[in-house]
Amino acid sequence: MYRSHTCGELRISDIGKKVMLCGWVKKVRKLGGMTFVDLRDRYGVTQLVFNLETQSELFDTVDKLGREFVIQIEGNVAERASKNPNISTGDIEINASSITILNESKVPPFTIEDNTDGGEELRMKYRYLDIRREPIKKNLELRHKLAIETRKFLSEKSFLEVETPILIKSTPEGARDFVVPSRMNQGQFYALPQSPQSFKQLLMVAGIDRYFQIVKCFRDEDLRADRQPEFTQIDCEMSFVQQEDVLNIFEEMIKYLFKTEKNISLDFNFPRMPYEIAMRNYGSDKPDVRFDMKFNDITSIAKNRDFVVFNDSEIILAIVAKSCSEYSRKELDSLTEFVKKPQIGAKGLVYVKYNTDGTFKSSIDKFYTQEDFKTWADKCEAEPGDLMLILSGETAHTRKALCELRLEMGERLGLRNPEIFAPLWVVDFPLLEWDEETQRYYAMHHPFTSPKQEDLDLLISDPSKVRANAYDLVINGVELGGGSIRIHNKYLQNQLFRILGFTEEEAQKQFGFLMGAFEFGAPPHGGIAFGFDRLCAMFGGQESIREFIAFPKNNKGRDLMADSPSEISEAQLDELCLVIKLPK
């Protein structure tokens, strides 16, 4: 037996017990003949006391102790003179009578404390030390609990967890595939699943009418704080359902998780917002609706006067920042700087202050009268004391930039309260997106998404106007999940492939197995997938999903700890019939 208790377990009621503990040395303090050691394990920290005056035989061992040494001790639980209310074992300490060093440790490269001095790179390189820290350990615990509760909820609703393969034929989710060369099939490659999309649809054909899987997905795309090359989804699919059925059951699941994990009751129907409205009011298909600040289109009342910038614009949009008319020159300049950042890309920012005395002050005073500004203010429902911020230009571009400015203002005004959760379903996405560069349509969700029945005629006359039975769950501006009702009719599916520019042969080559299955009685079906890492980050109140992944990659897709990806040997290349051709 190594230990009788954990380092987070002993309480005042255990006083007098003889115990054995194991753990890592967090801290050593020497006070005269007494040495105090904080011993840490996964469950907590316990204070050990070595009285080296009465137990001089322990001196050599205790004297050697360094941070992160692994030790085993034996001793008696005693009441602590100066209690520490901050830790669960703070009322007691152990009068140690023996000590064994189970393993030594090099000095760790950063402090293993809640607030470490280690930067992100260092923490990732020594992730196993980082995980010893309480905040990261808590994140992994949260992840575990969320997975358990998800499984519990879905199992109770008759969903069956089925594993699907990792070495597969490419699935189209709009990103680049990671590929794996096959040794046994020379010159041929598997793809890693961007999602189990085709498999879950095949499971519906197979009669597994409620499927789910907490599953790794792989997408080779540029990384951000909320993206990793391998990430985890709660992937789900159901047969004999319409959009409403899917939304209802997964809304219930999200409510269940909020209740069980955070004790938050979301006792309301999640609003459903058509994509078009989301884009018009917030310039985004994942609006943060914790605060209002909707877009106001003032194009018709602000255009065609003497101000060339507006006259050359397709659209002129304003947001109203409440009670900000007193913004200083400096504050306004910093907002202008913000919108001019390359990633936002606006050329400039127009402001109109609606002063508390009812007058207006603007950066474009020369071109417009006080009455003009009043008309704009009325249109935007601005009141004295408010500040109107205006961007103009090409529609998509202006919406995107104003969306960023709106979020920035929300941040500055403290309107993005992390304690508040504002979920909504964004629905009625367009089925297709036109790409200027390649001059073709792409599926906005994926090619298996069904068009709305009432828009079917438009598939021929004006494909860009067709709406899809597709939906996203958005909470606080984060897209947490998305899915669609699928096409289960092979004629419609073929028509779609044609619109997407696949020849009959290409479609057959890439999706023939799925189309073939659809000839054997495919039921109507649909589903959704949630970003599990994002869900964890949201529940944990953080932005970066890396903090909730035990061994994440950095934003170049590298595993800094194992130093991967890395080259492989000539012999391996030969076996795979591969030749490396690096760019010159």
Residue 252 amino acid letter? E
Of the candidates 325, 444, 328, which has an alpha carbon nearest to the alpha carbon of residue 388?
325
Using the minimum distance from each CB to ligand ASP, give the nearer residue, 89 or 449: 449
Task: Pick the binder of ligand ASP from 193, 527, 540, 552 (CB under 6 A).
Answer: 527
Q: Residue 497 phi/psi, 5° resolution?
A: -55, -40
| Member of 195, 213, 239, 510 binding ligand ASP (CB under 6 A) | 195
Report the distance separating Cα 474 and Cα 289, nearest Å. Answer: 9
| Cα angle, residue 58 at apex, residues 56 and 62 outer, rounded to 5° | 120
Query: Which residues are bridge partners to 48 per DSSP?
Result: 37, 94
In angstroms, rounded to a whole number, what is the distance separating the alpha carbons of residues 543 and 227? 11
Question: Which residues fall within 8 angstroms of residue 388, CB to CB, at 6 or more apart?
Answer: 318, 319, 320, 321, 351, 352, 353, 354, 376, 377, 380, 382
Range in contact with ligand ASP (rule: CB under 6 A) among 1-9, 450-458, 525-533, 545-553: 525-533
- Taking the least distance from each CB to ligand ASP, the nearer of 195 and 281 is 195
User: By C-beta, is 173 or 386 nearer to ligand ASP?
Assistant: 173
CB 211 within 8 A of CB 160: yes
In the complex with ligand ASP, the residue whose CB is nearer, 294 or 446, is 446
Least separation in angstroms between CB 526 and ligand ASP: 8
Closest among 432, 434, 426, 431 to 278, alpha carbons compared = 426
* Region from 299-307, 343-351, 451-459, 524-532 binding ligand ASP, contact rule CB under 6 A: 524-532
Site for ligand ASP in 133-172 (CB under 6 A): none
Residue 424 CB, nearest approach to ligand ASP (Å): 18
Q: Which residues of 311-330 are buried (b: 16+ CB within 10 A; e: fewer)?
A: eebebbbbbbbbebbebeee
What number of chain residues touch ligand ASP (CB under 6 A)?
Answer: 9
Query: Cβ-closest residue to ligand ASP?
Result: 195
Q: Among the candidate windows 124-132, 281-289, 433-441, 477-485, which touches ligand ASP by CB under 6 A?
A: 477-485
Binding segment toward ligand ASP, per CB under 6 A, in 178-186, 320-328, 347-355, 481-489: 481-489
Helix, strand or coil for residue 443? strand
Stretch that binds ligand ASP, among 133-141, 308-316, 454-462, 522-530 (CB under 6 A): 522-530
Closer residue to ligand ASP in complex, CB, 231/351: 231
- Least gap, CB of 480 to ligand ASP (angstroms): 11
Binding part of the chain for ligand ASP, among 28-36, 239-247, 259-267, 527-535 by CB under 6 A, reads 527-535
The nearest distance, CB 216 to ligand ASP, in angstroms, is 12
Comparing CB distances to ligand ASP, the nearer of 132 and 525 is 525
Nearest to 449 by CA among 482, 484, 425: 484
Q: Is residue 529 part of the contact set for ligand ASP (CB under 6 A)?
A: yes
Check residue 533 for interaction with ligand ASP (CB under 6 A).
no
Please state the closest distance from residue 224 (CB atom) to ligand ASP, in A: 17
Closest distance to ligand ASP from the beta carbon of 574 (Å): 36
Would you state the structure tokens that stand for residue 451, as one six-digit string?
A: 């068009």
Tell me if 482 contacts ligand ASP by CB under 6 A. Answer: yes
- Report the Cα 124 to chain-centroid distance in Å: 19
Distance, CA of 519 to CA of 217 (rounded, Å)? 28
Nearest distance from residue 266's CB to ligand ASP, in Å?
22
Q: What is the DSSP string of 183-249?
A: SSSTT-EEE--S-SHHHHHHHHHTT--EEEEEEEEE-BS---TT--SEEEEEEEEEES--HHHHHHH
- The CB-of-201 to ligand ASP minimum distance in angstroms stands at 9
Of the pair 295, 425, the CB lying nearest ligand ASP is at: 425
Nearer to ligand ASP, 26 or 486 (CB): 486
CB of 215 vs ligand ASP, minimal distance in Å? 10
Which CB sits closer to ligand ASP, 219 or 400? 219
Could you say whether residue 173 binds ligand ASP (CB under 6 A)? yes
- The stretch near ligand ASP (CB under 6 A) out of 14-22, 106-114, 380-388, 479-487 is 479-487
Q: Which residues touch 330 (CB under 8 Å, ≥6 apart)? A: none
User: Taking the complex as a whole, how short is the minimal distance between the CB of residue 448 and ligand ASP, in angstroms?
Assistant: 8
490: enclosing H helix or E strand:
helix 490-499
C-alpha to C-alpha distance for 557 and 553, rounded to whole angstroms: 5
Judged by CB under 6 A, the residue of 23, 75, 477, 483 near ligand ASP is 483
Stretch that binds ligand ASP, among 201-209, 271-279, 516-524, 526-534 (CB under 6 A): 526-534
- Count Cα atoms within 13 angstroms, Cβ side, for 349: 26
**Which residue in 154, 278, 380, 528 binds ligand ASP (CB under 6 A)?**
528
For residue 517, state whether it binds ligand ASP (rule: CB under 6 A). no
Both tokens of residue 251? 């809304």
For ligand ASP, the closer of residues 133 and 445 by Cβ is 445
* Cβ 538 to ligand ASP shortest distance, Å: 17
Torsion angle defined by CA atoms of residues 474, 479, 485 and 488, in that order, rounded to the nearest 10 degrees: 180
d(CA 471, CA 423): 13
Phi and psi based region of residue 577 (left: phi greater than 0; alpha: psi -120 to 50; beta: remaining): left
436 Cβ partners below 8 Å, 6+ apart? none
Shortest reach from residue 447's CB to ligand ASP, in Å: 11
Separation CA 316–CA 308 (nearest Å): 12
Residue 102 has φ and ψ, to the nearest 5°, of: -85, -30
Which of 197, 213, 476, 493 binds ligand ASP (CB under 6 A)? It is: 197
Residues making contact with ligand ASP (CB under 6 A): 173, 195, 197, 482-484, 527-529
